[in-house]
Amino acid sequence: MRRIVIATGNPKKVEELRAILAEAMGDGGPEVLGLADLPGADHLTEPEEHHDERGSFEGNARLKAVGYAAQTGLPCLADDSGLEVDSLGGRPGVISSHYSTGGVETGLSREERDGANNRKLLEDLAGVPLERRTARFVCVMALAMPGDPPKVVLTSRGEFEGRIGLPEAEAGGRAELVVPRGEGGFGYDPLLLLPDPETRSGAELLPEEKNRLSHRGKAARAMVERIGAMLAER
């Protein structure tokens, strides 16, 4: 456990997790690497996730962790995360990152994809009153160790509750409810308003605040506790 690979190609997610893990593990923790930090990173194959009825956050996290542990020969920490909106029956869920295209990868850049996903979500919620726009970010993490075969040894989960704000045309002049808003974060962060009495969106949080409150931060800290307990047993 001298090194852990964050098994994602999303540089913003790597940056977030590296900061969270460094704070939780302290100076004696393992070196935290992103896939891009590894020699031969261009030749790594992204494991195929399930973006249909077979899919779940935990199942996809396990697929990614095992797939990258097999390819890198290193402990790999993968997460699958997304947004669940209650009035949409839990959608977008496991297809959060490709919601606008029904879970299909179409070659858009991350920025283009985020914009399209956010527009579709607000369209799908058109006319839904604020009290029925409750939602949460969910993150499930899986740690896989290399071996023959590689296997998942730990999992953790975190949630970040809030509500989806309103487009300006539906906000009735209440500027504190208007979304998208904020320059930080990524994905649906500009749409999710923090629980009352807060009026900020996830994209308006400072990095250290987001790391403390977010679904990913909670899942990562729970994972660090479980890693510590596992190592103590050994």
Domain range annotation of the chain: 3-233
**From CA 59, how far away is CA 65, in angstroms rounded?**
10
Considering only residues 103 and 124, tell me which one the structure prediction assigns the higher pLDDT: 124
Q: Taking the CB of residue 140, how many other CB atoms lie within 10 A of it?
A: 23
Reported confidence tier of residue 15, pLDDT bands at 50, 70, 90: confident
Q: What is the DSSP letter of 201?
A: B
The predicted structure's pLDDT at residue 101: 93
Q: What is the pLDDT of residue 53?
A: 62
Confidence of residue 231 (pLDDT cuts 50, 70, 90): confident
Q: Is the distance from CB of 97 to CB of 157 less than 8 angstroms?
A: no
Question: Which residues are registered as beta bridge partners of 125?
Answer: none
Active-site hit among 37, 42, 79, 80? 80
Read out DSSP for 118-183? Answer: HHHHHHHTTT--GGG-EEEEEEEEEEEE-SSS-EEEEEEEEEEEEEE-B-GGGSTT-GGGBSS--S
Residue 116, classified by CB atoms within 10 Å of its CB into exposed (0-12), middle (13-18) or buried (19+), is middle
If pLDDT is split at 50, 70 and 90, which confidence band does 164 have?
Answer: very high
Q: Which of 52-56, 189-193, 199-203 has the lowest mean pLDDT?
A: 52-56
- pTM for this one? 0.88
Residue 24 or 88, more confident: 88
And the tokens for 190? 């500009």
List % helix, strand, coil for the chain (3-state, nearest 5): 45, 20, 35
User: Which residues, 6+ apart, have CB-to-CB distance to 171 below 8 Å?
Assistant: 165, 177, 178
pLDDT number for residue 57: 95
Contacts of 189 (CB under 8 A, 6+ apart): 182, 201, 202, 203
| pLDDT at residue 150 greater than cutoff 90 | yes
Compute CA distances 174 → 119, 130, 165, 187, whole Å. Answer: 20, 12, 11, 24
At 112 the three-state DSSP class reads helix
80 is catalytic: yes
Of residues 184 and 231, more confidence is placed in 184
Strand partners, 159: 138
Compute the average pLDDT of residues 126-140.
Answer: 96
Domain boundaries 3-233, corresponding CATH code? 3.90.950.10
User: Is residue 146 scored above 90 in pLDDT?
Assistant: yes
For residue 5, give the 3-state DSSP assignment: strand
Task: Identify the pLDDT of residue 12.
Answer: 81
What is the average pLDDT score of the chain? 91
Q: Locate tokens 């930090």: which residue? A: 37
Residue 176 to residues 61, 84, 148, 173: CA-CA distances in angstroms?
A: 35, 22, 54, 9
Section 50-71 average pLDDT: 88
